[in-house]
Amino acid sequence: MIFLFSSAFVFVVTALLIAFVYLAPARAVEAALNTTRKQSGLIRKENTLPNGLRYVYLEGGQGEPLMLLHGFGGNKDTFTRVSRFLVKRYRVIIPDIIGFGESAHPFQADYSPSTQVERLRALSQALNLKSFHLGGNSMGGQIALLYTALYPAEVNSLWLLSPAGVWSVPKSDVLKEVTESGHNALIATNEKEFKEVMALGMSRPPFIPEPMLKVLAQERIQNAALEKRIFRKILDHSVEDQISGMETPTLIMFGSRDRVIPVETANVLSKLLPNSKVVFVQNAGHVPMFEKPRQCANDYVSFRESMFEGQSNA
C-alpha cells in the first residue's frame, strides 16, 4: 500500500513538472537556473559603473576572491556548476561580460579584449577587489590573459580553460571556416543552429526539454548581430607577445575533445608562461568546467594548494 502511494505521488509530481515545462517554459528555465544557483551558493547581483554600463553577476562563498569569465556566447551560468565545489574555499564572482547575458549590450561600443579588460577592472574596483584570482573560458580566457599582462600586480593566479587569443597554432575546423568562408558555427541565428552550437561546444550536451531549449536559444538568436562584431575583435587580437614570460602562477586546462580551440594551444601557453601547469580533462569539450565540474574544481583546488605550498617553501 505504501509503495503504491509513493508511486502515485511520484507520478503526479512528474506530471506536474512536465506540464510546467510545456505550459510555462520561460518560468521553468528561470526556476531551473535559480535552483542551480542556490545549490551552488550563488546570489544574483547588479552593479552599474560610473560610465553607466550595468554588470549583472553571481557571487557566493568566502575567502580570497576568484573572478571567473565566461566564453563567447556564454554567460555567468556557464560556471555555476563548478562553483558549487569552490564556494566553500573562495569568494566566487562570475559576471556576465558586457555584450552577453544580462549585462549591458551597447551595440556600437568597442568590444576589443583590451576594452573589456578596462571594463572588468572598473567592476573589480567597484567591488573593492585590490587583488584577486582570475579564471576564464575561451574568450574569457583571452581577456583574463590580457588583464594579467596589463595589471600583473592585481592578479594572484590564472585559471585558463580552453582560452582564446593564441593564434599561432593551426586553426580548428571551426575557426578555419570563419576565416575562409565567413560562416561562424558558434553563432546561432535560429533554434536549429543553437542545438548545433551546443553539440559543438560539449562532448555530451545535457538533455534539455524542447520548450526550455527554445527559450534558451532566444538569448543567442537576439544577440547574433552583436556577437558577429564581438567575434571579429576576438580573432583580431593575439595575446602571445604580451604574455610571453609572464610569471603569474597559471593552471591551463583543456577538454581532450575540444573542437573549437586546438588543444595544441596548451603547449604554446606552457612555453610562454614559465610558472604554469597543464591539465587535460578527458572526454570533455570546449567548456570542461560545465561537463566535468567536480573534476575541474578538484584540479583547480589542488593547483591553488600547490601555490600555497610553494610560497611556504620559499
Q: Report the distance separating Cα 131 and Cα 65, nearest Å.
A: 8
Beta-strand relationship, 155-161 and 91-95: unpaired
Per the CB < 8 A criterion, the answer to whether 132 and 110 are in contact is no
Q: What is the mean pLDDT of the chain?
A: 91
Q: In whole angstroms, what separates CA 34 from the centre of its chain?
A: 18
In this prediction, residue 207 carries a pLDDT of 85
In this structure, CATH architecture of domain 44-169+229-313: 3-Layer(aba) Sandwich (3.40)
Q: Report the distance separating Cα 239 and Cα 166, nearest Å.
A: 6
Please say if 237 is a catalytic residue.
Answer: no
Q: With 70 as the cut, is the pLDDT of residue 97 above it?
A: yes
The values of phi and psi at residue 100, to 5°, are: -140, 160
Q: With 70 as the cut, is the pLDDT of residue 58 above it?
A: yes
Q: Which of 103, 124, 162, 286 is catalytic?
A: 286
In this prediction, residue 310 carries a pLDDT of 53
Amino acid, single-letter form, for residue 267:
N
In this prediction, residue 18 carries a pLDDT of 53
Q: With 60 as the cut, is the pLDDT of residue 307 above it?
A: yes
Q: Which of 138, 162, 172, 203 is catalytic?
A: 138
Q: Which of 64, 118, 240, 264 is catalytic?
A: 264
Q: With 60 as the cut, is the pLDDT of residue 35 above it?
A: yes
Q: Report the distance separating Cα 301 and Cα 106, nearest Å.
A: 36
Burial 228-256 (b: 16+ CB within 10 A, else e): eebbebbeebebeebbeebebbbbbbbbe
Span 61-70, pLDDT tens digits: 999 999 999 9
Q: Which residue has cell 512536465?
A: 18
Span 171-183, pLDDT tens digits: 999 999 998 998 9
Span 107-154, pLDDT tens digits: 999 999 999 999 999 999 999 999 999 999 999 999 999 999 999 999
Please say if 286 is a catalytic residue.
Answer: yes
Q: With 60 as the cut, is the pLDDT of residue 20 above it?
A: no
Q: With 60 as the cut, is the pLDDT of residue 84 above it?
A: yes
Please say if 183 is a catalytic residue.
Answer: no
Q: Mean pLDDT across the stretch 221-238?
A: 96
Q: What 3-state class would DSSP assign to 109? A: coil
Q: Which of 70, 193, 227, 291 is catalytic?
A: 70
Residue 313 pLDDT level (bands cut at 50, 70, 90): very low
In this prediction, residue 75 carries a pLDDT of 97
Long-range interactions of 50-56: CB distance < 8 A, separation 24+: 50/122, 51/122, 52/104, 53/98, 53/103, 53/104, 53/106, 53/119, 54/103, 54/104, 55/95, 55/96, 55/98, 55/103, 55/104, 55/123, 56/95, 56/96, 56/101, 56/102, 56/103
Per the DSSP assignment, residues forming a β-bridge with 34 are: none
Percentage helix, strand, coil, to 5, in the chain?
A: 50, 15, 35
Per the DSSP assignment, residues forming a β-bridge with 161 are: 137, 253
Please say if 105 is a catalytic residue.
Answer: no
Q: Mean pLDDT across the stretch 182-187?
A: 94
Q: Mean pLDDT across the stretch 254-274?
A: 97
pTM of the model: 0.92
In this prediction, residue 206 carries a pLDDT of 86
In this prediction, residue 314 carries a pLDDT of 46
Domain edges within the chain: 44-169+229-313
Q: Report the distance separating Cα 237 and Cα 234, nearest Å.
A: 6
In this prediction, residue 22 carries a pLDDT of 57
Q: With 70 as the cut, is the pLDDT of residue 21 above it?
A: no
Q: With 60 as the cut, is the pLDDT of residue 239 above it?
A: yes
Per the CB < 8 A criterion, the answer to whether 299 and 253 are in contact is yes
Span 266-300, pLDDT tens digits: 999 999 999 999 999 999 999 999 999 999 999 99
Q: How would you class 187 by CB atoms within 10 Å of its CB: exposed for 0-12, middle for 13-18, buried for 19 or more?
A: buried
- Max distance between CA atoms of the chain, in angstroms, equals 72
